[in-house]
Amino acid sequence: MPFIDARALPVLELKQGWRGRFFHSEHMTFAYYDLAEGASLHEHAHPNEEVWHVLEGEVSLTLGGETKSVVAGCAAVVPKETPHAVVATKASRVIVVDHPVRHEVGGVRI
């Protein structure tokens, strides 16, 4: 499956304000999220390296105790096992990429 139309993938609402479409490559998981303003994700860590790329809007990302605003056109790299939390300070569209493949997000199999 070398070509993917993410717009055609089913939408999963993992939690209130988090609507996402997901696919996997051999080594990575890609999540295309539409986040409602105020949607948040509690502090957590996991064995995956994770890259957040903000396409539209703005998120506040706390990474290892430091909070930064990540705006459209910017990205943040979350090293594996590093505590992090997210709040959508504006309605946002983001792509989140995990390495290695992640088969579950928020208790939901993807």
7 located within any domain: no
83 located within any domain: yes
**What order do you get walking across the sheet with 92-99 strand by strand?**
12-15, 18-24, 29-35, 92-99, 49-56, 75-78
- List the domain range (segments joined by +) for residue 104: 30-109
pLDDT band for 66, please (50, 70, 90 cuts): very high
Contact 75, 102 (CB under 8 A): no
8 located within any domain: no
36 located within any domain: yes
51 located within any domain: yes
14 located within any domain: no
Q: Mean of the per-residue pLDDT values for the chain?
A: 96
**Whole-number pLDDT of residue 1:** 65
Domain total for the chain? 1
Q: What is the pLDDT of residues 8-29, one digit of tens each?
A: 999 999 899 999 999 999 999 9
Contact 86, 17 (CB under 8 A): no
22 located within any domain: no
**Whole-number pLDDT of residue 96:** 98
Q: What is the pLDDT of residues 89-109, one digit of tens each?
A: 999 999 999 999 999 887 888
CATH for 50: 2.60.120.10
